[in-house]
Amino acid sequence: MSSTTRILGIEGTAWAASAALYDSESDDVYIQSDAYEPDSGGIHPREAAEHMHEAIPRVVADVLEHARETADSASEPRVTDGSDRSSSRQRDSPIDAVAFSQGPGLGPCLRIVGTAARTLSQTLSVPLVGVNHMVAHLEIGRHTAEFDSPVCLNASGANAHLLAYRNGRYRVLGETMDTGVGNAIDKFTRHVGWSHPGGPKVEQAATDGEYVDLPYVVKGMDFSFSGIMSAAKQASDDGTPLEDVCFSLQENVFAMLTEVSERALSLTGSDELVLGGGVGQNARLREMLEDMCDQRGADFHAPKPRFLRDNAGMIAVLGAKMYNAGETIALEDSRVDPNYRPDQVPVTWRSAESELVVGRGDDDTEVRGAEALVDLDPTAGRVRKRRVAKTYRHPDLDDRLRRERTTLEARLTSLARRAGVPTPVLSDVDPLEATIELEYVGDADLRDGLTRERVRAVGRHLATLHEAGFVHGDPTTRNVRVSSERTYLIDFGLGYHTDHVEDYAMDLHVFDQSLVGTADDPEPLREAVQAGYREVGRERVLERLRDVEGRGRYVDE
């Protein structure tokens, strides 16, 4: 297709009133933005909407003028037989379509963007394209990296999640269980009296800091910031120097994001990672991700800052891909959605060949997991697992995590077997070397041999652990080994003792996300886990699971 596509994009989900022109032939992205800066506190939805009301018309007018000025040099719009997409451009329109952020975001802001987009589309007689803001954060990185099938870490203000493409959708492999990563940092800076946005200030202050211990919470590929944020506020109230708190906050929060990204690469078998979102402007976060990818031989790409923070360029670029796939919407379908999730979007603009092929070779004797190097000796029936140092993590944090997890893995693997769940028998533990030796079990990972029966067994096993008062912590389709007779749970390093229903539900949620991320037809399997769980466990946990799944985490003011 030689014709050029020209899309005008509009963004205004929270703080950035932004418009952009994308020209597919030159690949040029012209962006005009006007930021809302609160006088005090965080983002006030009403004030932000007032800002949009005032600034959106201005940035749109500017970009439209640019589009008119450059229209002559773009391929001449024609009104012909309709066989060529460029022919649909109206004779007097300098663009082919208007793309706008349809959600997620603050309702009052989104509505102003929606109205502006509808008006413009009617004035110019061009179609509308409704863009999911989070998918745009992801696609801009895939576009500028020219990666085929990356895992994407979205680290923005109101969100934090890992996405990977499977079966026509971007699946959420993991996400924050409470606030977005930028909002978490901004809340801390508000507490110490710094103005919004706090991220850049924390980055600045962190340069002179020293490491102090703070909480570190990951659950499979999910994570939570509430504990570390309260601890950081407390530490500063108690007089810990702010630069030390900022430094340690960055070290822990970004190490958590890097760890879950590595786990997603390991689970999907992808060797490409892209970063998206405003927090991606942080140099320390980019450094950690780069380092992690280097260590495991994966490619990392972070778009330029102008494409990381909220901007209409990413809306226009994805708008063009969607427009070319025929994804325009009628006026009556253009309503905005403050809770629009990325996995609700049918991805029609990508070819199916870019699907990841996952699986482990039969003759591999050394496997690199997300955390460990695992030497396999099926003949001798033995496995040696070594948690290697992660150079991206602060050495104090790294030592602590590797030692704790090795000890926990040993203890909980045995405890689970005593409770009646098949697990490998342990032969040696060395916490200082972060090494354990255990029995080789199963013929394949569950990921490579998914059946309803096996998944049902996992449901029963998880319920058995929960009834015994602990969680697995990282139940994925790679942390289950299967043979013709048995289904084993392995890799208990993220497990812990707890009697909270919420923790049990999270354990199930982590497994559920891994099914959605790795199975071709996850629905019957998702039902099978719950059926298995119901045989042994409590209904309350399943009820809580539905609650966890239903939580909207997008807008947090």
Ligand X SMILES: C[C@@H](O)[C@H](NC(=O)OP(=O)(O)OC[C@H]1O[C@@H](n2cnc3c(N)ncnc32)[C@H](O)[C@@H]1O)C(=O)O
> To 10 degrees, the CA torsion angle through 246, 248, 250, 251?
160
In degrees and rounded to multiples of 5, residue 6 shows phi and psi of -120, 120
List 127, 150, 180, 442, residue binding ligand X (CB under 6 A): 180
Residue with the closest Cβ to Fe ion? 156
CB nearer to ligand ATP: give 197 or 473.
473
Q: Decide: is 349 part of the binding site for ligand ATP (CB under 6 A).
A: no
- Name which of residues 257 to 276 contact ligand ATP (CB under 6 A): 263, 266
* Helix, strand or coil, per DSSP, at residue 32: strand
Helix residue ranges per DSSP H, 146-273: 181-191, 199-206, 226-237, 242-268
Query: What, of ligand ATP, ligand X, Fe ion, none, does residue 445 touch, CB below 5 to 8 Å by kind?
Result: ligand ATP
> What gap in Å lies between CA 107 and CA 111, rounded to an integer?
6
Q: Smaller CB distance to ligand ATP: residue 14 or 436?
A: 436
42 binds, among ligand X, Fe ion, ligand ATP, none (CB under 5 to 8 A by kind): none
Out of ligand X, ligand ATP, Fe ion, none, what residue 385 binds, judged by CB under 5 to 8 A for its kind, is ligand ATP
Q: Which of 309, 341, 385, 393 binds ligand ATP (CB under 6 A)?
A: 385
Binding of residue 161 to ligand X (CB under 6 A) = no
- Is residue 84 among the annotated active site residues? no
- Which is closer to Fe ion, CB of 314 or CB of 465? 314
Binding site partner of 369, from ligand X, ligand ATP, Fe ion, none, Cβ cut-off 5-8 A by kind:
ligand ATP
Stretch that binds ligand X, among 67-75, 153-161, 234-242, 497-505 (CB under 6 A): 153-161
Q: Decide which of ligand ATP, Fe ion, ligand X, none touches 279; Cβ closer than 5 to 8 Å per partner kind.
A: ligand X
* Catalytic residue chosen out of the listed positions 474, 503, 507, 512: 474
Q: Which is nearer to ligand ATP, 185 or 441 (CB)?
A: 441
* Comparison of 376 and 419: residue with beta carbon closer to ligand ATP: 376
Six token digits for residue 87: 């022919």
Rounded Cα distance between 73 and 69, Å, is 9
Site string for ligand X, 186-215 (x = CB under 6 A): x----------xxxx--x------------
Peptide bond before residue 303 is cis, with ω within 30 degrees of 0: no
CA-nearest of 467, 459, 494 to 224 is 494
- Please identify, using beta-carbon distances, which residue of 224 and 476 lies nearer to ligand X: 224
Instruction: Sketch the per residue contact string, 278 through 307, with ligand X: x for CB under 6 A, - otherwise.
Output: xx-xx-------------------------
* Length of the chain measured in residues: 557
CA dist 10 and 210 (Å) reads: 42
Question: In this structure, what token pair is assigned to residue 28?
Answer: 């040029």
| 24-43 as b/e: b if 16+ CB within 10 A | beeeebbbbbbebeeeeebb
Name the token pair of 414. Answer: 């045995």
Residue 360: how many other CB atoms lie within 10 Å: 14
Minimum distance, C-beta of residue 308 to ligand X, in the bound complex (Å): 7
Selected binder of ligand X within 9, 77, 209, 277 (CB under 6 A): 277
Tokens read off for 107 = 């309702």
Binding-site residue positions for ATP: 366-374, 385
Interface with ligand ATP, residue 481, by CB under 6 A: yes
Q: Which does 158 bind (CB under 5 to 8 A by kind): ligand X, Fe ion, ligand ATP, none?
A: ligand X
Q: How far is the CB of 444 from ligand ATP (least distance, A)?
A: 8
Among 477, 475, 470, CA closest to 491: 475
- Given 3-state DSSP classes, what are the helix, strand and coil percentages for the chain, each rounded to the nearest 5? 45, 20, 35
Q: Around Cβ 249, how many Cβ atoms within 10 Å? A: 27
- Angle (CA) 135-140-144 rounded to 5° is 150
Tokens for 80?
């012909």
Choice from 11, 222, 310, 398 touching Fe ion (CB under 5 A): 310
Of the residues 156, 176, 252, 282, which one makes contact with Fe ion according to CB under 5 A: 156
Q: Under the criterion CB under 6 A, does residue 133 sit at the interface with ligand X? A: yes
Please, which residue, 26 or 365, has the CB nearer to ligand ATP? Answer: 365
The DSSP annotation for 422-479 comes to --PPEEEEETTTTEEEEE---SEEGGGS--HHHHHHHHHHHHHHHHTTEE-S---TTS
Query: Binding-site residues for Fe cation, please?
Result: 133, 137, 310
Among 213, 190, 189, which residue's Cα sits nearest to residue 203?
A: 189
Give the residue, chosen from 187, 219, 263, 309, that forms a contact with ligand X under the rule CB under 6 A: 309
Which residues are the active-site residues? 474
Residues that bind ligand X (CB under 6 A): 13-14, 104-105, 133, 137, 156-159, 180, 182-183, 185-186, 197-200, 203, 277-279, 281-282, 309-310
Residues that bind ligand ATP (CB under 6 A): 263, 266, 360, 367, 369-372, 374, 376, 383, 385, 424, 438, 440-442, 445, 478-479, 481, 490-491
